[in-house]
Amino acid sequence: MSENKTTRLLRLVDELAEAAKRVGLEVRREKILREVGYRARGGACRLREKDLIIIDREMPAAEQVEIIAEALRERDLEAVYLSPAARRVLQAGGEPS
Residue 85: pLDDT band with limits 50, 70, 90: very high
What does residue 8 show for φ and ψ, rounded to 5 degrees? -60, -40
Sign of CA dihedral 68, 70, 74, 76: positive
Dihedral angle at the C-alpha atoms of 45, 50, 53, 54, nearest 10 degrees? -80
Q: What is the pLDDT of residue 92?
A: 63
Quick one: pLDDT at residue 6? 86
Sorted by sequence, the CB contacts under 8 Å of residue 40 that are 6+ apart come out as: 32, 33, 34, 56
Question: For 7-62, what is each residue's pLDDT tens digit?
Answer: 999 999 999 999 999 999 999 998 887 776 667 778 888 999 999 999 998 889 99
For the chain, the domains span 3-93
pTM of the model: 0.84
Mean pLDDT along residues 73-94: 87
Give CA–CA dist 83/24, Å, rounded.
19
